[in-house]
Structure 1
């Protein structure tokens, strides 16, 4: 018989932020926990199919950050990557998660690695999907984006161009070998949330703070070398922002990591769930925690 997960859709208050999250309800109470940390410009909905496929055997938890999806933050919330990590750290504590693996994608990498820096004993393993932590993984386009600063001529306009429907759609389509494998629902739903009041301003603030992540690369690499977490790397090799060199770079610090390069773009789960889901399931089964 097919085993499709039951999923609950919940909210929890974290320091005044009403965090929305989706959580699978596995058959075993002691099922391994995987915290799913989404990317830009998406939200927890990007993991819906993965949760359906794996959530009956594993406890998958996918929150929306402040400024994304269904999460609601106060008007005076300060949008920075430290701020996102603060909320996610509080979220983990509110749910009582003491030991879990992380699936880090895009923005999820700087959020997740901040969590790992703060509480390394909580991290049982790491699934990295187009989540960069190495300078060589930055494409020229990514470097140009990271160099943007508030007040510089054309900087805000450059960020705003990514927040349009064309900009959002291009992040899904670029580097994809088979465009027919892409459902339009992903970028359509992302754009709905980007168009909500205040969301563009939140994304502009995060864009201008992205350089803080690159400045931490050395610290995150040191954590990987020191703690050597079990690591699975699944990477869309056609990603226009984070190149395959960034995927291979992880092997310097976690040489036992399992690496799979896929013929697709940034949002690899959209086209390669069939390949990624069994890899993640086997990885969680090996962790056994």
Structure 2
């Protein structure tokens, strides 16, 4: 599916004065079927909700699926004068779900989205939420940032001195090489997919904010105790669905999380890299849908 066709599936919703790109499977089916359980998806860095394009049709058979592009990502607004804190990304997600009238959800998060999810979890533990999280699903995110194998470009982008200049110099060949290298089987990501991801990154002057988005890595250190603590305290049933051959969010992170989260089940996806929903969609969605 081309990224422009993906855009046609969504709509733009104003959240706290910002235009957020949202896909709601109820809208796609032209129904208002509110009897299905709701699955909300949080995507990773530096991509968008487009990461889930291969799995959306089957997920929508079982769930009302709702996903959005985080502020600064994909087709959502990309303001130049914004902090892009993960705390505020959690604010936006929760407000969006409130505006959509959601009461109870299964929350599935990948990569960057796992930190948004753990901030939401911290608030849930303090009984600050108006929405109930029925189940949590965590996929290949470097929540234990001390174990993460960051790419060189991530290290440069998160640095307040080098980040802006690296962002200016970043081009499609650099992006393509870095994205392909996090796939276990590089044949599983097509040139068209990579071009579509780059198109969304550049969309609406996106390269001008990519270094600001990269500060999330620093926040993972700063809020480590809050977010890892939230996982240790949570009683929400949790699935850990992990691609074992991820070169960034390495298998050791999933293994450690499985010892820390009280009520969890760990599922490995073999011979798969950082984007399992793109590289191995059949197995990934099987674990997501298995109740």
d(CA) in 1 for partners of 2:214 and 2:250? 19
Q: Deviations over 1:112-170 (max 9, x none)?
A: 2222222355222111111121145311547972894312xx44444556x43233323
The verdict on how the C-alpha distance between 1:136 and 1:209 changes in structure 2, with shifts beyond 3 A counting, is closer
Within 2, Cα distance between the matches of 1:19 and 1:93?
14
Q: Is 1:245–2:255 an aligned residue pair?
A: no
Which of residues 116, 119, 123 is equivalent to 1:114? 119
Check conservation: 1:136, 1:245, Cα contact below 8 A: no
- Picking from 250, 259, 273, the partner of 2:281 is 273
CA spacing shift, 1:195–1:164, aligned 2, 3 Å: same
Q: Work out whether residues 79 and 206 of structure 1, in 8 Å CA contact, stay in contact via their aligned partners in 2.
A: yes
Residue 58 of structure 2 aligns with which residue? 53
Partner of 1:3: none
Aligned to 1:32, which of 15, 31, 37? 37
2: CA distance, partners of 1:180 / 1:229: 37
Computed over aligned residues only, the root mean square deviation of the Cα atoms, in angstroms, reads 2.6
TM-score normalised by structure 1 residue count: 0.84
Gaps of 5+ in 2: 1-7
TM-score (norm. length: structure 2): 0.83
| 2:14 aligned residue | 13
Shift in CA distance, 78/275, structure 1 to aligned 2, threshold 3 Å: same
Q: Structure 2 vs 1, CA of residues 54 and 215 (structure 1 numbering), >3 Å: closer, same or farther?
A: same
Distance (whole Å) between structure 1 residues aligned to residue 253 and residue 177 of structure 2: 21
Distance in 1, matches of 2:194 and 2:136, equals 26
Give the conservation status (yes or no) of the 8 Å contact 1:165–1:191.
yes
The count of aligned residue pairs is 274
- Answer whether contact 2:78 2:206 (CA < 8 A) is retained: no
SS at match of 1:30: coil
Q: Does 1:133 align with 2:143?
A: yes
Alignment counterpart, residue 238 of structure 2, candidates 214, 231, 234? 231
| 1:211 CA drift (Å) | 0.7
SS for the counterpart of 2:280 is: helix
Q: 2:208 aligns with which of 182, 201, 206?
A: 201
Within the candidate set 176, 182, 187, 2:183 is matched to 176
The aligned residue for residue 4 of structure 1 is none
Name the CA distance, whole Å, in 2 between partners of 1:68 and 1:147: 16
Q: Spell out, residue by residue over 1:204-250, the C-alpha distance to the aligned partner (whole angstroms, 9 max, x if none).
A: 11213421122222222222222232111222233232111111111
Tell me: CA distance 1:166–1:237, structure 2 relative to 1, closer, same or farther (3 Å): farther
CA distance in 1, matches of 2:200, 2:91: 22
CA contact (8 A) 1:12 1:20 kept: yes
